[in-house]
Amino acid sequence: MTLLDDFRLETRTWLEENCPIEMRKTSTTETDICWGGRKWTFKSKAQKQWLERMASRGWTVPGWPKEYGGGGLSGDEIKILQEEMKRINAISPLESFGIWMLGPALLKYGSHQQKLEHLPKIARGEIRWCQGYSEPGSGSDLASVQTKGVDKGDHFLVTGQKIWTSYADKADWIFALVRTEPDAKKHKGISFLLFDMASEGVTTKSIQLISGSSPFCETFFDDVKVPMENVVDERGNGWTIAKYLLTHEREMVSNLDAIFGGSAGLYEAALETIGLDETGRLDNPLLRAEIGDFLIDEMAFTTHLAAAKDFHRAGNQLGARSAELKYLGTELNKRRQSLVVQAGGLETLSGSEENSGISKQSASWLRSKGNSIEGGTSEIMLSIISKAVLGLPSLG
Amino acid sequence: MELFNSEETLLKDSAAGFMSENAPVQALRNIRDRKAPLCFNKELHKSLADMGWFGMLLPEEAGGYDFGHRAAGIVAEEMGRNLTASPFLSTAVLSAVGLRHASGDHLSEWGPQIASGDAVIALAIDEGAKHNPVRIKATAKPDGNGFILNAKKRAVFDGFNADRLIVVAKAEEQTALFIVNPTASEVMVERSSMLDSRNAANIEITNLHLDGKDLLCPLEKSDDTLRAMLRSGRAVAASEQLGIAKEVTERTTTYLNERKQFGVPIGMFQALQHRMADLYCQIEETSSLVSASLRAIDTTQDSADILSRAAKAKVAKVARTATEEAVQIHGGIGMTDEVDIGLFMKRDRVLTEMLGDCAHHIDFLLRNRGL
């Protein structure tokens, strides 16, 4: 037996003993996810137990170093942990922007002190983070952010507005792009600041989407005092960190494919609502053809994502190619959701009174429209690929 | 994004080097312009075999090297990139897999000759304008200990001047695969002049008497054997077509950087950039799908059949877009015979029809899912 076999066996035993039955599910929905944070109320005793047990081993963030609350596992070990969790359908104990985004950024750019202060709290699900990037005037042209941080010696006074801040109303801390060097060039004047959302001068207002949900907020800063030591890396180097993080975000967004849960019931729905003709084919040839086109693209993307994961696990950086996954994955999901409501027909046109008649399928369909906007639009992804992968000339 | 092991990298490099040196697009032009009836170069065939590539899918006891489908796909992709004309698909893939699956005397007789580049064996399957193996009309009537074969086969790739044909027919309700000597007087072989300047023939067989040993395999094994042949054929043909898509897209990207209009390289225009970037993404995911289908065959996964169909269908769509975009973006010169784009487009069109087009396989995949 190799060391990895030992690890697999130990992991299997530990998971069997420690993963509560309620935390083993073949399909997960948005409401099953544990986000953690000061304001979090656990959905069940099992959810709390599962988080605590996994966090005690550092397995909410298995790849992070042990001293920062991680599991210190190698790539191969992480793969085994994932496989063993999948084997018993164990759901993820904790998801958060802290894990996906801030953590990787701090590990790469943060000081030892910053890592010690923030990473263990992320790993244990104690602090929930949000991301303050976009502004009303800075969407695709993100580096044009205007939120300003005025140097007051030992602190900045931060004033401005962020938008599309995911779950800002539920978050405890924010990592934000703030213009602290007004005289520097566009990309060189931004700093990456960390601050508590409970600070004086921070207010949030949620934005209702066409899908009925409100995952995003407008976030306002009015003379918010941010200590100087809360700058990550050098002042003025925020854009570098932001770009690094956006790459991570893209990898995550396309990984959401797993959360969306395969075909989202497309094939089953089509069979149920449309039925078969006398040759045993779906009784709507044109919609059937569209589903068929989707089917092969779905197979292609699924194998591509698996290849990308192997590539990544083997120690290669995806870099600009994460734009390719983001583009393909989000465009595919839009098609999928659109086909689900087409197949569902009239059945998906009514929903509950509380959600203004928006059915679950319609909500997913409407929400999916944002997939190719958030985290960099499809058009920005194509521009990145043109420039960084194909080597085509660019205007700027 | 694919991970190649060191053997695969070595193979890819050596195949790329060999094809571009010995069998580039110009070699195909020469064959076409000379109107050589065979439509491939015998010496090239032999040297491809000397490289070990015609024995890739044959077992060692039959003179082969057992490299597997992933390896065959790597070689086919380079053939696609260079429009290399050879009887690789017909002989080294379809027939080799059929012989191997059937095993027995035919494998011992023909395996070594395929591996050494001394024999061409073509699969005679299609009868109508579209590939449709479930509607074979050719008949093999039982006659004493043997059969009487009647068949009209169309677009038999590499069927002109082949040493043997593998003919698909129906013996009553059962599929039958016969090894037929095309020089028999009951067999009429008519060379067809093909769009892609490759070797193909229309073949008519009238009352040919065959006996049991002319069967590639026992009747009860025929369906399985044919399935294996078509599965491998699809995955490797998809690899060749993928090579075409990649090549024309790279050539077009180069052109976008070189061609100037309005004082700037046309690659500066976002309208073109985004089309190319989209195409690139499509090709990349197709590449993963093709590779997954080849590996699935090598590891005898249940999903191999499905994946080979999905790969064949998806590559047909993507390569069509790639060749069409290549012509459009090259503009007027893309329409001329002088640049190679049109030759890629022609071969692409033939590969799409070979072993089933996009609609054919999508229909199968949907029915397989109960839709």
Q: Mean pLDDT for chain B?
A: 97
| Residues in chain A within 8 Å Cβ distance of B317 | 293, 296
Assess contact for A158 and A193: CB atoms under 8 A: yes
Which candidate, B91, B119, B45, B22, places its Cα nearest to that of B236? B91
| Residues in chain A within 8 Å Cβ distance of B265 | 393
**Cβ-defined contact of B367 to A280 (cutoff 8 Å):** yes
Structure confidence by residue, pLDDT tens digits, A341-355: 999 999 999 998 988
Per-residue model confidence as pLDDT tens for chain A (396 residues): 688 999 999 999 999 999 999 999 876 677 788 999 999 999 999 999 999 999 999 999 999 999 999 999 998 899 899 999 999 999 999 999 999 899 999 999 999 999 999 999 999 999 999 999 999 999 989 999 999 999 999 999 999 999 999 999 999 999 999 999 999 999 999 999 999 999 999 999 999 999 988 889 999 999 999 999 999 999 999 999 998 888 776 665 445 454 444 556 899 999 999 999 999 999 999 999 999 999 999 999 999 988 988 887 787 888 888 899 989 999 999 999 999 999 999 999 999 898 889 999 999 999 999 989 988 899 999 999 999 999 999 865
Average pLDDT for B216-227? 96
Assess contact for A91 and A16: CB atoms under 8 A: no
Structure confidence by residue, pLDDT tens digits, B52-100: 999 999 999 999 999 999 999 999 999 999 999 999 999 999 999 999 9
Element (H, E) at A195: strand A190-196
Residues B221-227: contacts with CB within 8 Å, 24+ apart?
B221/B101, B221/B102, B222/B174, B222/B175, B222/B176, B222/B177, B223/B174, B223/B175, B224/B101, B225/B98, B225/B101, B225/B102, B225/B177, B226/B98, B226/B133, B226/B168, B226/B175, B226/B177, B227/B305
CA distances from B235 to A209, B232, B292, B311, B346 (A): 45, 5, 9, 7, 20
CA distance B325 to A325: 22
Q: Which of A271, A303, A318 sits opposite B292 (nearest CB)?
A: A303
At residue A249, the pLDDT reads 67
Q: Which of A297, A299, A392 sits opposite B256 (nearest CB)?
A: A392
Q: In DSSP terms, which residues pair with A151 in a beta bridge?
A: A156
**Cβ-defined contact of B281 to A324 (cutoff 8 Å):** yes
Tokens of B300: 């005898």
Structure confidence by residue, pLDDT tens digits, B245-303: 999 999 999 999 999 999 999 999 999 999 999 999 999 999 999 999 999 999 999 99
| Residues in chain B within 8 Å Cβ distance of A299 | 289, 306-307, 310, 314
| Residues in chain B within 8 Å Cβ distance of A301 | 285
**Cβ-defined contact of A327 to B291 (cutoff 8 Å):** no
Distance from CA of B239 to the nearest CA of A (A): 14
Tokens of A191: 């700093």
Q: 3-state class of A157 per DSSP?
A: strand
- At residue A358, φ and ψ (nearest 5 deg) are -85, 115
The DSSP letter of residue B356 is -
**Cβ-defined contact of A392 to B369 (cutoff 8 Å):** no
CA torsion, points B88, B91, B94, B99, in degrees to nearest 10? -140
Looking at residue A81, its amino acid is L
Quick one: closest CA in A to B274, which residue?
Answer: A382
